[in-house]
Amino acid sequence: MSDCVRTTMVIVGLVTGLIGGCSNDGEECEPSCVGKTCGSDGCGENNNCGTCEAGWTCSGGTCVKTDLCNNGQIDPGEECDGDDVGTNTCVTEDFIGGTLGCTDVCTLDTSQCHNCGNGIRDPKEECEGDDVGTSTCVTEGFIGGTLGCTVECKFDTSGCALPWSTVSAGGAHTCGVRTDGTVECWGLDDDGQSTPPGDAFSSVSTGWFHTCGVKTDDTVECWGKDEHGQSTPPGGAFGSVSAGGYHTCGVKTDGTVECWGRNGDGQSTPPGGTFSSVSAGYYHTCGVKTDDTVECWGIDDKGQSTPPGGAFSSVSATGYSHTCGVKTDGTVECWGDNQNGQSTPPGGAFGSVSAGGGHTCGMKTDDTVECWGDNGDGQSTPPGGTFSSVNTGWFHSCGVKTDGTVECWGDNPEGQSTPPQP
């Protein structure tokens, strides 16, 4: 007989009413005590049993509850353990379906259970059927469209429109890049200038009858009219591209400028040196060099290729025979043809400027747009509101508003001033 049993017998025989716990930790007791709590079920009178029931251990003379949670099996007092949820399911927990889990404290986790399909949107669901609550495409980060609901009661944004990052107005067509890199075009498409490829682009530039863009891999792709090779770009990596009348120029990632297409006036023969930007016009081209000076080449019959001195942050030669630039102090200076006042900019500070056919528009530092020059088609009457960019075409203008939508104004016989609706 073990010491535990002998001790118990002595105590039973000589002492009554003693208050004790288990005897020494780890001791064994007679078989009738094994698996039972000290002092329970008549085991070990006066609480002198050395073995505690499952889930309890003898510690310091007392049966102490042992935490068996996360041991991989469901023990008494646990609803589940790890991946083991017993015979329970989301359905037994009053849900329609889903996956029943287990928390790290061995209680059932119904967070992945759902009632999707019962016709009632509950707090765990984004939507139910046609019920999307107060959510819209706009609240989900889009600029418009119709928000739907999937069979899993999650928002379906396939009918929502992504914001625009850039827009470019050309001769009689317009193209823009959405925030996912897709390009969409609208307006005249008789030469395919409004039928972009399906690749991802970081920027796009519309010419008179062709369009080019820089892809996210830094290569240039063009589409539309190509009788002078203006839509056949060279290889290599580019940081930006500008489509003109019948030629195209781009700044390569090493800062040099390369041009292709028509070159009857030298518009496709850039000077050496490094540039931060380039802008191709109808028959001339200008660029801002890395020392902030402007250099132009090509036809100069109206003085459009004779820039003033000073430091510039940007230049736009996309007009027919005039050029404008934003100086580093924020003022705008223009040169070249001025028969419509397109080369007489207003005062004030501007963040960007764009020269059109016979008009010019610029975005002021307060994000409003101001235009000047020819206004026969309303191309110089911009809408109110704030913009992140503006771009002028032959007789129309377009801009990306700060809410990510595109708005156009001016000539519209080909739909060039009617951007896609969300």
- Average pLDDT on 233-241 reads 98
At 54 the pLDDT is 56
Predicted confidence (pLDDT) at residue 395 exceeds the cutoff of 70: yes
Distance CA 349, CA 4 (A): 96
Are 178 and 298 contained in the same domain? yes
- Determine, yes or no, domain membership for 280: yes
- Determine, yes or no, domain membership for 231: yes
- Determine, yes or no, domain membership for 139: no
Q: What is the pLDDT of residues 24-48, one digit of tens each?
A: 444 444 344 444 455 444 344 444 4
How many CA atoms lie within 13 Å of 278's alpha carbon, on the beta-carbon side? 33
- Average pLDDT on 263-270 reads 98
- Given 50, 65, 80, the domain boundary residue is 65
Q: Which of 41, 39, 49 is nearest to 7 (CA)?
A: 49
Phi-psi region of 263 (alpha: psi -120 to 50; beta: other; left: phi over 0): alpha
- Determine, yes or no, domain membership for 419: no
At 78 the pLDDT is 87
CB 383 within 8 A of CB 197: no
- Determine, yes or no, domain membership for 418: no
Are 45 and 176 contained in the same domain? no
Paired residues of 278 in beta bridges: 287
Residue 240 belongs to domain with CATH number = 2.130.10.30
Range scoring the smallest mean pLDDT among 76-85, 237-246, 257-266: 76-85
Residue % of the chain over a pLDDT of 70: 84
Are 231 and 363 contained in the same domain? yes
Are 175 and 307 contained in the same domain? yes
- Determine, yes or no, domain membership for 348: yes
Q: Residue 52's domain spans which residues?
A: 3-65
Distance CA 344, CA 359 (A): 10
At 117 the pLDDT is 87
- Determine, yes or no, domain membership for 368: yes
Q: Which residue matches tokens 């994000």? A: 367
Number of residues that this document lists for the chain: 422
- Average pLDDT on 269-294 reads 98
Are 378 and 237 contained in the same domain? yes
pLDDT band at 114 (very low <50, low <70, confident <90, very high): confident
Q: What is the pLDDT of residues 305-343, one digit of tens each?
A: 999 999 999 999 998 999 999 999 999 999 999 999 999
List the structure tokens of 26. 């780890």
Mean of the per-residue pLDDT values for the chain? 88
Predicted confidence (pLDDT) at residue 386 exceeds the cutoff of 80: yes
> What are the distances in angstroms from CA 226 to CA 41, 231, 243, 273?
98, 5, 12, 28
pLDDT band at 55 (very low <50, low <70, confident <90, very high): low
Identify which has the larger pLDDT, 13 or 395: 395
List Cβ neighbours of 87 (8 Å cut-off, separation of 6 or more): none
List the structure tokens of 88. 């329970």
At 46 the pLDDT is 43
Are 60 and 177 contained in the same domain? no
Q: Which residue matches tokens 């015979």? A: 87
- Determine, yes or no, domain membership for 210: yes
Predicted confidence (pLDDT) at residue 235 exceeds the cutoff of 80: yes
Are 173 and 49 contained in the same domain? no
- Given 65, 84, 99, the domain boundary residue is 65
CB 204 within 8 A of CB 177: yes
- Average pLDDT on 136-143 reads 95
Counted domains in the chain: 2
